[in-house]
Amino acid sequence: MDPAIDLIDLIPITKIKISKKNWLELPIKYDDVGLKVKDIIEEMCERTYLWIMKKDDLDIVTDYDSFRKDFINLLYDKYLK
């Protein structure tokens, strides 16, 4: 057996990734209105989709629901490693 593989098995997991569902429900710090992460991401997603639609040199290749799902997954996977 390769000794390098054995060393990888010994690295402890010190932080467990929050689930996407729980992450989306997190409240925004210092906000009195009660905004959650999902509210901000929804706004970002809508504006991005509309911006792409307005651009002549960009084409929409998916419906909004698929775009929204992919957009949320992109942010979750990129920033919550």
Is the pLDDT reported for residue 7 higher than 90?
A: no
Write down the pTM of the prediction. Answer: 0.74
Is the pLDDT reported for residue 64 higher than 60?
A: yes
Residues 6+ apart with CB under 8 A from 49: 60, 64, 67, 68
| More confident of the two residues 22 and 5 | 22
Instruction: Tell me the backbone φ, ψ of residue 36, rounded to 5 degrees.
Output: -120, 165
**How much is the CA Rg of the chain, to the nearest whole Å?**
19
% pLDDT > 70, the chain? 83
